[in-house]
Structure 1
Amino acid sequence: MHKSMKRWKAAAVIGAGTMAIAGALPLQAAAAADQTLYLTDSQCDQPWNNWFKWAEQPLQVPAGAAPSGAMCRVAISVGPQGAKNARLNLTISAQSVTESGYSPHELAKRLVIASCFGDASGITAIPCHDGGHWSVNDDGSLTWDLIAPMDFPSADVAGWEQRAGQVDIRISGAPSTKSALLRGRIQFSADGVAEQPASTILINYTGNGADIDIADASTLVPLTPTRLLDTRDGTGAARAKVGPDSTLTLQVAGRAGVPAEGVSAVVLNITATNPTGDSYVTAYPHGRSRPSASSLNFAPGKTVPNQVVVPVVDGKVNLYNHVGSVDLIADISGYYTPGTAGSRYTALATPSRLLDTRNGTGAPRAKVGPDSALALQVAGRADVPAEGVSAVILNVTATNPTDESYVTAYPHGVRRPTASNLNLTPRKTVPNQVVVPVVDGKVDLYNHVGSTDLIADISGYYSATGSVFVPTGPTRVYDTRNGIGGSFGEIGPGHQGGPGFILWSNGLPPYGVTAVALNVTVTDVHTSSFLTVFGRGLAESPEPATSTLNYDPGDTVANAATPRANYGVNFTNHQNYVSVIADAAGYFTAG
């Protein structure tokens, strides 16, 4: 064993994997003169840091298990000329895929991989490259590019066995009723380097008797907001309030520009108005069991909106009211469809403020007056491309309103729709996340009556490149009241991380999640304050100068958030203590 391999054994690592791995990565012969990149050694880890050679013993980890340290490492040697644009590929054979009982696409959805790249001195314990995806080849085999193109520096080698780098490989599989023995190969390549011989691998995907339904990856088709439901006048349903412990079924497919088939989820702005009791509404897929999650909370006499992403089953979604009776309104602003016909999402590394009429950010320093629209430039700002943007995700906040009013966000230059996104009450600060199509690089924000200051924070944009969306249905993944998601107790001033909820048990793979669609609720409020939701980075992430929810004593309020989530999510409360709840509607991943 090399001295370097001993360092690997002593290293503290965070691995994951719900696979059993065996294989052969033999030591390579001395590199020929035209070879500058080759494998030199490999090891795998069992629980309790029991290292062994990959070729001698399988790595056993049950499917669906939480990340527990199961991983393999591969050492790489580089000759004196170095290697440019080095790549590492893992391929599962077509015959093996067929024998697994899964189609290539189904198997690809169930296996995720992370890899981390380091030099000879050691390697970080945090996955560095977990945004890859399987490619389904013409022959039915699967290929994963384990690491992004990298350069290996030149190595002043005295012997062929000296190495210049190493790669961690971590594999995780979804809970499954099936077990599958998958044969394949792993291979390094680099520009200007002679082709290297592939090393065979054997992956024993051991089912655990459970199974989760993984939806097809989808892309967004943004729409000009259109009203689908209004129980006050009979639009989309009977002209009657939704009563206590009652569910309204809303047809969404085949209406307002939504196709009759091929819709995996819809983006709705749901508004509750004229409620008779303290209650909540849950939006969830039609025909499924109602989850223990909520979409918006309201008190008697209030009008409360919130944006939700809801999976669609049989062309419908369900809206459940808990107690009392309430009128419900639903406006659609987009739908997700399986495949690549729509747009992909790019979450910004840090949310950014694009508009604040209180200080002149993005618009003149003046309130938006009655029956007035403000045109907001979004393209070309805050890391948003100047061209090719189809829609943006904004958190729009109205503050200091002088009258009861509403605000509508819609594509620039089009006729204003009969839809709303925020409902305003004098002296109340109200936020709501919106998905808005972009025209000529702009979106419009309309105020109905009175005057109000408007704030807009951007968390991401849709374009031809980026991540695809996998709807999971509303699932409670974080609740500081009972410790769900890893945190127990009210959040005081400062950061509170929530990385523990990105798990297979919540329908979220532990690797490859680039962003997550959340509904965040704050309750047990003692002081007027605001919450900021943003992605966690490799190092401590700086807190952005943005907000997600605003609340006053006694409030229970919700708002959607779509933060980057490569390494988890941060929640920051700014005053006193509050309880925070988060329900996941789905996740974004490279695809």
Structure 2
Amino acid sequence: MRINRRTGLLAAGAVLATGLLPVQSAVAAQLPAQLNPVCDTANGGSRPWTADQPFTLKGGNDFNTYCRVRINGYGGDLRGLTASYTISAASVTASGYTARQLARMIVPEVGVGDATHSISNGVWTPVVGEDGSLSLRSAAFDLLPAWGQTIGTVDFLFSASSGPRSARLHGTFALTSAQGDSVQADADLDYVADGHPAPTGQAGTFKPLTPVRALDTRSAIGAPKGPVGPGREVALQVAGANGVPASGVTAVVLNVTATDTTHDGYVTVYPHGTARPTASSLNFKAGQTVPNLVTVPVGADGKVSLYNFLGTTSLVADISGYYTSDGTGSRYTTAGPTRVMDTRYGTGVAKAPAGPNGQVDLQVTGRSGVPASGVTAVVLNVTATNASRGGYLTVYPHGEQRPTASNLNFTAGQTVPNLVTVPVGADGKISFYNFLGTTDLVADLAGYYSGSGSVFVPTGPTRVLDSRNGTGGVNSPVWSGNPAVLQVSSWKNGIPAFGVQAVALNVTATNPTAASYVTVYPNTGADRPTASNLNFTAHQTVANAAITPNARNGVAFYNFAGTTDLVADLAGYFTAD
């Protein structure tokens, strides 16, 4: 145990939490002379948590035992405190993992409280020091006295991913005052690997692009000319082409379209050079033209693979943006689902369908929870309905030249949704161009990108829900009005139990008994939103991407009418850092 009466205690390269509160004129307490880290035991007791008695952290376990640090001060206020838990650079190196890998693998939920109330509860920000150490940092907090003494606790509920090798990690808990004084205690971790691979996803920020066509097998764009045969795949070079940099790209956002299909089937989009997953990205019937938005990690060579299951199909892919590891992109904030446009009722725009060769302009910034400035792109679920003839829809930044890319393709009378990520124009608007006939347009806001918010960690595609075989704990078709609930945040799905702000899913409805729609939303107990994510008729198989806020109690899937099987494939998750 040691006390430091100096500033600059925290690891090199760290950034102190902002908003430190000034010391008040009330009686000031001294930092405690020592800290008392302990861990719970199986019999309901506790035992010391020290360098000699490390906490055993089991890999692949969502919820390990609680460990806590007791803070016993002297009467008075302790204001502007910060706390940290640091794994030393030497033990990071000895573990064989990098500090960034460990930051993804070991994710504790931390609760801070004093004698009378809970102060905060959540995931602390990970900071990699210049020396290679890993620190988890709290925001500033106050401890106030009760019964003549200042008493506080910091509770750690550790969650740990799978990993191929065990490691002993030397950890130090530190409590630091606003003046820079600190008290520390050693508290080691003994990570016990389960032998499975560790998560490989790398966090990235988003760089939006005005949609650009990167692949069209009908005209030899991005691949040889000709349809893709059964059991065959196309490799598309993403990095270093079409405005995407050659390095630092963690994932790409593509609008993928299957057309000229000769057989019922599906397409799977996945990182080139990796094993093809069981997940699907879009589903179609013979003769259909079907688009879907796909977020997929790029392979080590900067490519993605597009696999066709049955028959032959032409493939088209338009890039709408990419995630980069260099930190220069935008971060995501959830803001829905919220209906922001409906031409049937005059929501957001005039009450009138979009005409042939017509354009509808929608103001997206400064309303519906989207800031008035600083927004680079928005995520919308766009639906075309009441179409008088077959056509397509293009969504693009207002005030810019309309691209050749398309976002939705539909036939007369069809209702077709598709998730769209689109940059906003300089005036905060986006444009919707309708090619032929008339069609009503509906748009539900999912979120936006700006300078603050969450980073994206790609993980998939990974199947996390399938009501046909019980994957995800749902063992039967989803009935009308009886939502299925999926606990997405779990290491069994490749993502941490804590700190996940939103998840990117590809949701498929199959075997429906009636025309219906599905809404995907956080299971918080609040009212279900009026927005929809999928629309389908009886016996149709329809897939659509969804980015939905995550909740401690999981994600809910509501089916409006009849019954339908639901399948969900996870593309990745959004987290604070």
TM-score by length of 1: 0.87
C-alpha distance 312-559 of structure 1, shift in aligned 2 (>3 A) = same
Name 1:362's counterpart in structure 2.
348
Residues 1:424 and 2:410 are matched in the alignment? yes
Measure how far apart 1:73 and its partner are. Answer: 2.8
Measure how far apart 1:242 and its partner are. Answer: 1.2
Measure how far apart 1:273 and its partner are. Answer: 1.2
Name 2:321's counterpart in structure 1.
334
- The one-letter amino acid paired with 2:543 is A
Give the conservation status (yes or no) of the 8 Å contact 1:357–1:364.
yes
Give the conservation status (yes or no) of the 8 Å contact 1:114–1:129.
yes
Measure how far apart 1:118 and its partner are. Answer: 4.2
- The one-letter amino acid paired with 2:82 is R
Name 2:128's counterpart in structure 1.
136
Measure how far apart 1:330 and its partner are. Answer: 0.9
Mapping 1:544-563, distance limit 5 Å: 544-563=529-548
Name 2:511's counterpart in structure 1.
524
C-alpha distance 182-275 of structure 1, shift in aligned 2 (>3 A) = same
Measure, in 1, the Cα distance between the counterparts of 2:182 and 2:214: 58
Q: Select 2:470's aligned residue among 459, 483, 497.
A: 483
Measure, in 2, the Cα distance between the counterparts of 1:139 and 1:322: 49
Measure, in 2, the Cα distance between the counterparts of 1:294 and 1:287: 17
Compare 223-232 and 247-256 and name the one that shifted more: 247-256
Name 1:149's counterpart in structure 2.
140
C-alpha distance 547-80 of structure 1, shift in aligned 2 (>3 A) = farther
Residues 1:343 and 2:330 are matched in the alignment? yes
Measure, in 2, the Cα distance between the counterparts of 1:541 and 1:168: 28
Measure how far apart 1:521 and its partner are. Answer: 0.6
Name 1:231's counterpart in structure 2.
217
Measure, in 2, the Cα distance between the counterparts of 1:240 and 1:70: 57
Name 1:541's counterpart in structure 2.
526
SS of 1:96's partner is helix
Mapping 1:454-469, distance limit 5 Å: 454-469=441-456
Give the conservation status (yes or no) of the 8 Å contact 1:234–1:240.
yes
Measure how far apart 1:97 and its partner are. Answer: 2.1
- The one-letter amino acid paired with 2:47 is F
Measure, in 2, the Cα distance between the counterparts of 1:352 and 1:280: 30
Name 2:29's counterpart in structure 1.
35
Mapping 1:181-200, distance limit 5 Å: 181-191=168-178, 195-200=181-186
Give the conservation status (yes or no) of the 8 Å contact 1:219–1:344.
yes
Measure, in 2, the Cα distance between the counterparts of 1:298 and 1:571: 22
Residues 1:376 and 2:355 are matched in the alignment? no
SS of 2:396's partner is strand
Measure, in 1, the Cα distance between the counterparts of 2:253 and 2:505: 13
Name 2:381's counterpart in structure 1.
395
Q: Number of matched residues?
A: 547
Measure how far apart 1:229 and its partner are. Answer: 1.5
Measure how far apart 1:359 and its partner are. Answer: 1.1
Mapping 1:83-122, distance limit 5 Å: 83-118=78-113, 120=115
Residues 1:276 and 2:262 are matched in the alignment? yes
Measure, in 2, the Cα distance between the counterparts of 1:279 and 1:263: 30
Name 1:586's counterpart in structure 2.
572
Give the conservation status (yes or no) of the 8 Å contact 1:123–1:166.
no
Measure how far apart 1:413 and its partner are. Answer: 0.8
Name 2:556's counterpart in structure 1.
570
Name 2:55's counterpart in structure 1.
59
Measure how far apart 1:356 and its partner are. Answer: 0.9
C-alpha distance 420-60 of structure 1, shift in aligned 2 (>3 A) = same
Q: Select 2:251's aligned residue among 245, 265, 288.
A: 265
Name 1:323's counterpart in structure 2.
310
Name 1:16's counterpart in structure 2.
none
Measure how far apart 1:123 and its partner are. Answer: 6.7
Measure how far apart 1:121 and its partner are. Answer: 6.3
C-alpha distance 45-486 of structure 1, shift in aligned 2 (>3 A) = farther
TM-align CA RMSD: 2.4
Give the conservation status (yes or no) of the 8 Å contact 1:79–1:157.
no
Give the conservation status (yes or no) of the 8 Å contact 1:111–1:173.
yes
SS of 2:366's partner is coil
Measure how far apart 1:333 and its partner are. Answer: 0.6
Measure, in 2, the Cα distance between the counterparts of 1:324 and 1:99: 51
Name 1:305's counterpart in structure 2.
291
Measure, in 2, the Cα distance between the counterparts of 1:195 and 1:497: 51
Name 1:166's counterpart in structure 2.
153
Name 2:6's counterpart in structure 1.
none
SS of 1:563's partner is strand
C-alpha distance 120-573 of structure 1, shift in aligned 2 (>3 A) = farther
- The one-letter amino acid paired with 1:514 is Q
Measure, in 1, the Cα distance between the counterparts of 2:79 and 2:194: 42
Measure how far apart 1:493 and its partner are. Answer: 2.9
Measure, in 2, the Cα distance between the counterparts of 1:238 and 1:588: 35
Cα-to-partner distance string for 1:170-222 (whole Å, 9 max, x where unaligned): 22232222222222221234547x83411221111222322224132111111
Measure, in 2, the Cα distance between the counterparts of 1:84 and 1:552: 60
Measure how far apart 1:307 and its partner are. Answer: 0.5
Give the conservation status (yes or no) of the 8 Å contact 1:536–1:564.
no
Measure how far apart 1:320 and its partner are. Answer: 0.9
SS of 1:253's partner is coil
Measure, in 2, the Cα distance between the counterparts of 1:583 and 1:231: 26
Name 1:6's counterpart in structure 2.
none
Residues 1:288 and 2:274 are matched in the alignment? yes
- The one-letter amino acid paired with 1:105 is R
C-alpha distance 51-225 of structure 1, shift in aligned 2 (>3 A) = same
SS of 2:438's partner is coil
Give the conservation status (yes or no) of the 8 Å contact 2:510–2:566.
yes
Measure how far apart 1:578 and its partner are. Answer: 1.4
Measure how far apart 1:369 and its partner are. Answer: 0.9
Measure how far apart 1:291 and its partner are. Answer: 0.5
Name 2:419's counterpart in structure 1.
433
Cα-to-partner distance string for 1:135-184 (whole Å, 9 max, x where unaligned): 01223222111x443344x43424x4x73x53321222322222222222
SS of 2:200's partner is coil
C-alpha distance 37-103 of structure 1, shift in aligned 2 (>3 A) = same
C-alpha distance 139-519 of structure 1, shift in aligned 2 (>3 A) = same
SS of 1:108's partner is helix
Measure, in 1, the Cα distance between the counterparts of 2:91 and 2:198: 22
Measure, in 2, the Cα distance between the counterparts of 1:435 and 1:416: 15
C-alpha distance 274-100 of structure 1, shift in aligned 2 (>3 A) = same
SS of 2:333's partner is strand
C-alpha distance 541-82 of structure 1, shift in aligned 2 (>3 A) = farther
Measure how far apart 1:80 and its partner are. Answer: 5.7
Residues 1:45 and 2:30 are matched in the alignment? no
C-alpha distance 238-201 of structure 1, shift in aligned 2 (>3 A) = same
Unpaired segments ≥5 residues, structure 2? 1-25
Measure how far apart 1:81 and its partner are. Answer: 4.4
SS of 1:169's partner is strand
Measure how far apart 1:398 and its partner are. Answer: 0.9
Give the conservation status (yes or no) of the 8 Å contact 1:217–1:339.
no
Measure, in 1, the Cα distance between the counterparts of 2:358 and 2:42: 63
Give the conservation status (yes or no) of the 8 Å contact 2:176–2:183.
no
Name 1:22's counterpart in structure 2.
none
Measure how far apart 1:36 and its partner are. Answer: 5.7
